[in-house]
Amino acid sequence: MAAPRDIAALAVFRILIGALMCFGALRFMRNGWIERLYVEPQFHFKYWGFTWVHVPGEVGLYLLYCGIALAALCVAIGLLYRIAIIAFWCMFTYAELMDVTTYLNHYYFISVLTLIMCFLSPHRAWSVDAWRRPPLRTETLPAWQTYWVRFQVSLLYFYAGWAKFETDWLLHAQPLNIWLPPHSGLPLLGPFLEQPWVHFTFSWFAFLFDTLIIGFMLWRPARPWAFIVILVFHYFTHVFFNIGLFPFIMVFSVLIFFEAGWPRKVASRLRLPLPTRSAAVALAPAERWGAWRGGAAVAVVLFCAFQFLMPLRHWYYPGTVLWHEQGMRFSWRVMLREKSGSLEYRVVIGRQDGTRRTVIVSPHRYLTEEQYREMAGQPDLILQLAHHIRDDYLAQGFDTVEVYAESLVSLNGRAAHRMIDPSVDLSRTRLGLARAAWITAPPTEPPPLQRPLRLDRK
Amino acid sequence: MTLILAACGGGGGGGGGGVAQPPDPDPAPDNDPPPETGDDARRVVLSDIGTAIIVPALEDFDMMATGLQAAAAAVEAAPGDVPTADAAKAAWNTAMTSWQRAEVLQVGPAGRSTNPDAVAGGQDLRDFIYSWPFTLDTCAIEAAAANGDAVDGTTPINITGLGAIEHLLFTDAPDPACASQPDAAARAAHLSRLADRVALLATSLLERWDPAADNYLEQWSTAGLESSVIYSRPQDALDALSIALFYVEKQTKDRKVALPTGLPVTDLNCADPIACPEFLESRLSRRTGQNLIVNFEAFRDLFTGVDGGMGVNDLLIGIDRQDLADQIIAEVDDVLALLAQIEGDTGFDAAVEAITDNDECVNAFSSSSGLPPCALLGVMKTALDTFRGPVVSALGLAVPSAAAGDND
């Protein structure tokens, strides 16, 4: 773990991730997503335990994202790296915690990855810091720094793969059977995307790819071929799905599985003026493990154990996670379900004089279409909005408020089913980690398999 | 190969007159065209919808708008003449019926050109023709009439279009609270200017689609081919159609029915604490129910296709989802049946005004039976939940605001 490894791979990793995140923040602002996702909504869903995270005003949001972009740029060029990466992590994670409906696995991945980078030293080469402060310069870093990043990347692929080990994905090719046909206009591959056998092939390939790819990346002879497969796989995810920066993040991340000196070899082949590692440094001694470093190692191991266990928590909840969603987030279940739903609340409001009245409350009253679409299939968010509705009516002066949800959800093309027990008063239901008895049992019928589109003229 | 063999067998009989030909084991196919698949199939549906539904709807509205223009000119020539005014009201009603069909067809030039609801190829023509639910500034309309203001492209949408015409036609005099109090002649003259503008816009919108003019129909029908620069895939055009169809949920159901019944909210700013007739779409002309019928008929037609053409349901049937195709049509038919019943009784406007019990309304909505406008909302919800959920999922269609972020 303490053995010296060439710093080159981690330095390039730092540059690529920093540059990508800088681009991502600028893209976020340019696309108007600050307004759409944070300014327009009047209500924001909170993560459990993070209700203290508030959405700043429009100016504050732009300052936040400008700060993210600037910090990411500093990370990329290695200027005040330690401050920059900590600032980036704080601001980026804060931004991601502002509204649950914007949750994406790859943003969570960036949050975890940059948290790890706060404790690494990839700025000690090819950076402004190293240029300005010669004592900082080094050509090696201890191996654990690379291993830690590798572990996190491996975890994502592994769990993304095992999340596909379920019947809808493997036995019914859903949701790819729904998602791929609209892309049939693509050149060459397009016509095949209508065919169910292709959907099954892609489903099984994606399952095997995610599950096995890290093994091949760790096996030196297979590594170049595995990397080519990764490039092809993520290229297609980029083409088929509106998946943003995710393919780029993953391609940049798997570079860490190559030999630590790969950038120098590539530069040499390309005849770029990158210094080769000196022989003396190659023989640098391993770092000694003192008490402080021992404690840090334990912390790292605990962090890794937490990351390993976190995605497994859905086993605690009966039923399928695709339906009840308990344990869905932070578990690398990437692009796994096609879920659409409709929702409204029956709210019974009463006064102390005994008068009671029922009103129908549409989520649209509080949410944007974007938020509504995301939350309509996620029970904990339905509960959260129910609580907000309760508080809203109490603030209007009503003395008693009961909130019931009428929720219909279609999972992977099935007929819509009730997802919330309509007899449960959600205003009294607590949001927490306990098993949610107010979520109905998942549908038992298999999802339909849609055949290739074929029209017979009337 | 089969065709070649058949051709050889059929054409080689010149020298062999006495030889009996064996029966053709693979008779020539009948005249049915071969099935369309993939993106070609999607283009067939788009083409049929464009040719048999969208363009005819715009042609019809162009004709009705011209009729309204003539009727308004007659009012201008004889202000205060009741039969002439009644004829103009009838012309407006006819034009409105026609336009309500086009409301569900806001793809291409009719749609908005700017975010957040920008439409591919959008040129904002819809809002200039009919700006509802944007609230009319009725006093500004009276002021424009009093001043003899021109009506052109710079006229704000809240004092022009079919809504402004309805105001002038279906009110006898300005609201006493308005600063400007134009006389009947001035109001009639302004009515005529407004009708001229709508007629001009109707023709302009039709010309955008007309194959003999701007030919947006080709953009639509050939989506994904080189001839279509607006839609890079047929799915993009279908997505645009899907978002247009959401009009029936977001406007027809949630605004035209839910708001007046007072069901979805408790803090509406309206005089009646139970229902809110102020939110009826066409309260002056009392034709909100007819608007609802036309909206849903257009919605239904887009699914079934018309005149033997294909519709969205053919896409469902084409992927073996006849169940969904049957379900949504049955549910839309339930909506139309209940609407016909309401219109045959007191009419939707009067039915809303008759709501006096909120609990009864909630119960009717929940059970889809009872107090008619409230039950209607429940029946509409059933149909549109099917559209929003399983239908949109099955066809991989877009919903409004879909471009606001990444997936993963």
pLDDT tens digits, residue range A67-107?
999 999 999 999 999 999 999 999 999 999 999 999 999 99
| pLDDT on residue B24 | 55
Q: Does A362 touch chain B (CB under 8 A)?
A: yes
Residue B10's pLDDT band (cuts 50, 70, 90): very low
The alpha carbon of residue B132 is apart from the nearest alpha carbon of chain A, in Å, by: 19
The share of chain A scoring above pLDDT 90, in percent, equals 83
Residue B12's pLDDT band (cuts 50, 70, 90): very low
Residue B171's pLDDT band (cuts 50, 70, 90): very high
Cα–Cα dist A427/B301, whole Å: 42
Within 13 Å, how many C-alpha atoms sit on residue A196's CB side? 14
Cβ pair B319:A181 closer than 8 A? yes
- DSSP-assigned states of every residue in B54-105: IHHHHHHHHHHHHHHHHHHHHHHHSTT-HHHHHHHHHHHHHHHHHHHHHHTT
> Which residues of A are less than 8 Å from B264 in CB distance?
344, 359-362, 365
> Which residues of A are less than 8 Å from B310 in CB distance?
455, 458
Whether the Cβ atoms of residue A196 and residue A451 lie closer than 8 Å to each other: yes
Inform me whether the pLDDT recorded for B6 exceeds 50.
no
Inform me whether the pLDDT recorded for B160 exceeds 60.
yes
| CB nearest to A243's CB, from B36, B319, B407 | B407
Q: Nearest chain A Cα to B323, which residue?
A: A415
Cβ pair B396:A181 closer than 8 A? yes
| CB nearest to B38's CB, from A37, A369, A453 | A453
Angle between helix A8-30 and A105-117 (nearest 10): 140
Residue B19's pLDDT band (cuts 50, 70, 90): very low
CA angle in degrees (0–180, nearest 5) for A8-A13-A16? 125
Residue A431's pLDDT band (cuts 50, 70, 90): confident
Q: What is the rounded average pLDDT of the residues B134-154?
A: 96
| CB nearest to A340's CB, from B41, B263, B388 | B388
| pLDDT on residue A147 | 96
Mean predicted lDDT score pLDDT of chain A = 93
| pLDDT on residue A283 | 56
| CB nearest to A455's CB, from B35, B393, B399 | B35
> What's the token pair of residue B92?
């407006």
Q: Does B358 touch chain A (CB under 8 A)?
A: yes
Q: Which of residues 161-220 of B touch A (CB under 8 A)?
A: none
Residue A400 in 3-state DSSP?
strand
Lowest mean pLDDT among A169-173, A174-178, B270-274: B270-274
Residue B220 in 3-state DSSP?
helix
| pLDDT on residue A173 | 97
Q: Does A396 touch chain B (CB under 8 A)?
A: yes
| pLDDT on residue A452 | 93
Q: Which of residues 434-453 of A touch B (CB under 8 A)?
A: 448-453
| pLDDT on residue B1 | 36
> Which residues of A are less than 8 Å from B359 in CB distance?
357-358
Q: What is the rounded average pLDDT of the residues A278-300?
A: 71
| pLDDT on residue B9 | 35
Query: Count of A–B CB contacts within 8 Å?
Result: 175
Residue B18's pLDDT band (cuts 50, 70, 90): very low
Q: Nearest chain A Cα to B393, which residue?
A: A413
Cα–Cα dist B328/B333, whole Å: 8
| pLDDT on residue B112 | 87
Residue B119's pLDDT band (cuts 50, 70, 90): confident
Whether the Cβ atoms of residue B225 and residue B383 lie closer than 8 Å to each other: no
Residue B2's pLDDT band (cuts 50, 70, 90): very low
Q: Does B36 touch chain A (CB under 8 A)?
A: yes
Q: What is the pLDDT of residues B180-215, one digit of tens each?
A: 999 999 999 999 999 999 999 999 999 999 999 999
Q: Nearest chain A Cα to B263, which residue?
A: A360
Residue B264's pLDDT band (cuts 50, 70, 90): low
Q: Which of residues 272-311 of B touch A (CB under 8 A)?
A: 305, 308-310
Radius of gyration of chain B (CA): 26
Cβ pair B37:A454 closer than 8 A? yes
Smallest CA-to-CA distance from B404 within A44, A37, A58, A103 is with A37
Q: What is the pLDDT of residues A199-225, one digit of tens each?
A: 999 999 999 999 999 999 999 999 999
Place of tokens 């709210």: A347
| pLDDT on residue B23 | 53
Cβ pair B401:A410 closer than 8 A? no
Q: What is the dihedral of CA B147, B151, B155, B157, to 10 degrees?
A: 110
- DSSP-assigned states of every residue in A216-241: HHHSGGGHHHHHHHHHHHHHHHHHHS
The share of chain A scoring above pLDDT 70, in percent, equals 96
| pLDDT on residue A187 | 84
Cβ pair A455:B314 closer than 8 A? yes
> What's the token pair of residue A48?
């459990």
Q: What is the rounded average pLDDT of the residues A159-173?
A: 96
Q: Does B114 touch chain A (CB under 8 A)?
A: no
Q: What is the pLDDT of residues A375-407, one digit of tens each?
A: 999 999 999 999 999 999 999 999 999 999 999
> Which residues of B are less than 8 Å from A410 in CB distance?
389-390, 393
| pLDDT on residue B87 | 98
Lowest mean pLDDT among A41-45, A448-452, B53-57, B267-271: B267-271
| CB nearest to A342's CB, from B232, B314, B389 | B389
| pLDDT on residue B118 | 81
Cα–Cα dist B206/B102, whole Å: 11
Inform me whether the pLDDT recorded for A434 exceeds 70.
yes
Lowest mean pLDDT among A333-337, A338-342, B28-32, B328-332: B28-32
Inform me whether the pLDDT recorded for A281 exceeds 70.
no
Q: Nearest chain B Cα to A104, which residue?
A: B408
Q: Which of residues 408-437 of A touch B (CB under 8 A)?
A: 408-410, 413-416
| pLDDT on residue A212 | 97
> Which residues of A are less than 8 Å from B224 in CB distance?
185
Q: Which residues contact B132 (CB under 8 A, 6 or more apart)?
A: B163, B281
Inform me whether the pLDDT recorded for A237 exceeds 50.
yes
| pLDDT on residue B11 | 34
pTM of the model: 0.89
Cα–Cα dist A439/B157, whole Å: 47
Q: Nearest chain A Cα to B374, which residue?
A: A360
Inform me whether the pLDDT recorded for A282 exceeds 80.
no
| CB nearest to A33's CB, from B44, B238, B405 | B405
| CB nearest to A243's CB, from B235, B265, B406 | B406
Cβ pair B319:A453 closer than 8 A? yes
Q: Which of residues 305-344 of B touch A (CB under 8 A)?
A: 305, 308-310, 314-315, 318-321
Q: Does B366 touch chain A (CB under 8 A)?
A: yes
Q: What is the rounded average pLDDT of the residues A229-242?
A: 93
| pLDDT on residue B30 | 59
| CB nearest to B308's CB, from A106, A241, A458 | A458
Cα–Cα dist B58/B107, whole Å: 12
| CB nearest to B38's CB, from A184, A364, A370 | A184
| pLDDT on residue A290 | 72
Whether the Cβ atoms of residue B297 and residue B336 lie closer than 8 Å to each other: yes
Mean predicted lDDT score pLDDT of chain B = 90
Q: Which of residues 110-169 of A touch B (CB under 8 A)?
A: none
DSSP conformation class of A355? -
| pLDDT on residue A383 | 97
| pLDDT on residue A185 | 83
Residue B390's pLDDT band (cuts 50, 70, 90): very high
| pLDDT on residue A209 | 97
Smallest CA-to-CA distance from B55 within B102, B95, B122 is with B102
Inform me whether the pLDDT recorded for B17 exceeds 60.
no
| CB nearest to B359's CB, from A245, A335, A358 | A358
Element of type H or E holding A6: strand A4-6
> Which residues of B are less than 8 Å from A359 in CB distance?
263-266, 358, 362
Q: What is the pLDDT of residues A24-58, one digit of tens each?
A: 999 999 999 999 999 999 999 999 999 999 999 99
Inform me whether the pLDDT recorded for B218 exceeds 80.
yes
| pLDDT on residue A295 | 85
Cβ pair B320:A36 closer than 8 A? no
